[in-house]
Amino acid sequence: MPSNPADLQEAKEGKLYLVATPIGNLSDITLRALETLRSVDMIAAEDTRRTRKLLSHFEIHKPTVSYREHNARTCGSYLLGKIASGKSVALVTDAGTPCISDPGNLLVEMALERGIEPVAIPGPTALISALIVSGLDTHPFVFLGFPPSKGAERRRFFEKNAKVDMTLILYESPMRLEKTLRDMADNWGDRKVAVARELTKMYEEVFRGSISEALSHFAGEARGEIVLVVDGAAPGEKISDDPGDSSQSPPWKEELEALLSGGLSSKEAAQAVACRFDLPRRMIYQAALEIKKSGRNFSEK
Ligand code: SAM
């Protein structure tokens, strides 16, 4: 029986349901999600193959439509046309809650423009699961999604968010974890972080410590799906608006620059700074290489 009989009635009238699905453990699906997926006329999914596996696990046999970033507008119009003609559609994402770091948002915007009210069928989402186990302040918090992968946009992202005095939540791929931890340390200082990996899955892990400790812990290859929860800027933390202002550099970086300009090699300078500030040598070494790459004229012995 549906927990809310109005749900099935609504489904016959043509509705858009935003249905959360598990982020790993299939037992996390809600009763209402199952009822909704069974009641709709079609299911729009980012990855239809992955969704079909989920559906077949629960013995749900419904047509699926591929709704992804590259076809979001055309497929969105098609889906909304179906809803306008009385069909009901469930939107699901690869894992978790639709519209959280996926193209679902556009469908909601387009639905609202056409006077179609979306219905949330809530459930798992990685950001909230990570936040509640992080041990950091759970409010206020800000969800930043995936950091831009490179270039000026990425630099601005870390600079802009340095002053945010709320707990910060980010999604990141395992390939970029180390780079992101390093950029966080450089721009935000060595704050507390929780790295939540493979939540609700067999190899679930939550690492809690400073950013530099996380860098040591995850040195080399990290695996799986990752959420970063980071302490916000401390009240009154002084961070300059001017990225060129050297007062923004952490003390270890200033010392590193001084040693490099004094003629030490990247390796020697990294060793000295890592030892003095009790930071991972690998992180400092990378920073030294980047300082050199940035064009300042340090001679390498
Ligand atoms: N809509 C999803 C949600 O509600 O969380 C997020 C989709 S986003 C495309 C995928 C990202 O979510 C992953 O790269 C990872 O950062 C995070 N994520 C998803 N499942 C996760 C899990 N089981 N453990 C940790 N992070 C996860």
Atom of ligand 1 nearest to the CA of 127: 5
Q: With bands split at pLDDT 50, 70 and 90, how would you rate the model's confidence at 246? A: very low
Encode 167-196: b = buried (16+ Cβ within 10 Å), e = exposed: bbbbbbeeebbbebbbbbbbbbbbbbbbbb
Helix, strand, coil shares of the chain, percent, nearest 5, are 45, 15, 40
What pLDDT score does 301 carry?
47
Model confidence at 87: pLDDT above 50: yes
From the number of C-beta atoms within 10 Å of its C-beta (0-12, 13-18, 19+), residue 62 rates as: middle
What is the distance between the alpha carbons of residues 14 and 281, in angstroms, rounded to a whole number?
59
Average pLDDT along the chain: 89
131/217 same-domain check: yes
180/282 same-domain check: no
Atom of ligand 1 nearest to the CA of 130: 25
85/171 same-domain check: no
Report which DSSP code applies to 63: -
The mean pLDDT value for 228-241 works out to 74
99/72 same-domain check: yes
Whole-model pTM?
Answer: 0.78
Model confidence at 233: pLDDT above 50: yes
Among 103, 124, 145, identify where a domain stops: 124
20/78 same-domain check: yes
Q: Are 284 and 267 within 8 A, CB to CB?
A: no
Tell me the per-residue pLDDT of 132-155, one tens digit each, with 9 for 90 and over.
999 999 999 999 999 999 999 999
Tell me the per-residue pLDDT of 89-104, one tens digit each, with 9 for 90 and over.
999 999 999 999 999 9
Tell me the per-residue pLDDT of 187-196, one tens digit each, with 9 for 90 and over.
999 999 999 9
Among 124, 144, 164, identify where a domain stops: 124
Tell me the per-residue pLDDT of 30-54, one tens digit each, with 9 for 90 and over.
999 999 999 999 999 999 999 999 9
Model confidence at 239: pLDDT above 50: no
Among 21, 134, 171, 176, the mutation site with the greatest number of ligand 1 atoms within 8 A of its Cβ is 171
Q: With bands split at pLDDT 50, 70 and 90, how would you rate the model's confidence at 11? A: very low
What pLDDT score does 8 carry?
52
Pocket of ligand 1 (CB under 6 A): 23-24, 93, 95-97, 100-102, 125-127, 171-173, 196, 198-201, 225-227
Q: Residue 200's domain is classified under what CATH number?
A: 3.30.950.10
What pLDDT score does 243 carry?
37
Give the list of residues 6+ apart from residue 99 with CB closer than 8 angstroms, or none. 18, 93, 105, 108
Atom of ligand 1 nearest to the CA of 93: 1
What is the distance between the alpha carbons of residues 49 and 175, in angstroms, rounded to a whole number?
24
User: Could you give the number of structural domains in the chain?
Assistant: 3
> Alpha-carbon Rg of the chain, whole angstroms?
23
Among 201, 230, 259, identify where a domain stops: 230
74/15 same-domain check: yes
Model confidence at 121: pLDDT above 60: yes
Centre of ligand 1 from the C-alpha of residue 25, in Å = 13
Q: With bands split at pLDDT 50, 70 and 90, how would you rate the model's confidence at 236? A: low
91/22 same-domain check: yes
Tell me the per-residue pLDDT of 251-301, one tens digit each, with 9 for 90 and over.
888 888 889 988 888 888 888 888 877 777 778 888 888 888 876 655 554
Model confidence at 13: pLDDT above 70: no
The residue range of the domain holding 277 is 238-301
pLDDT > 70 in the chain, percent = 89
89/159 same-domain check: no
81/174 same-domain check: no
What pLDDT score does 172 carry?
98
Any idea which of 172-186, 209-223, 239-253 has the lowest mean pLDDT? 239-253
135/94 same-domain check: no
Contacts 24+ apart (CB under 8 A), 149-155: 149/176, 154/183, 155/243
Centre of ligand 1 from the C-alpha of residue 63, in Å = 25
Model confidence at 204: pLDDT above 80: yes
108/133 same-domain check: no
From the number of C-beta atoms within 10 Å of its C-beta (0-12, 13-18, 19+), residue 85 rates as: exposed
Strands 42-45 and 64-66: parallel
More confident of the two residues 67 and 5: 67
61/159 same-domain check: no
Of 254, 269, 272, 266, nearest to 290 (Cα)? 266
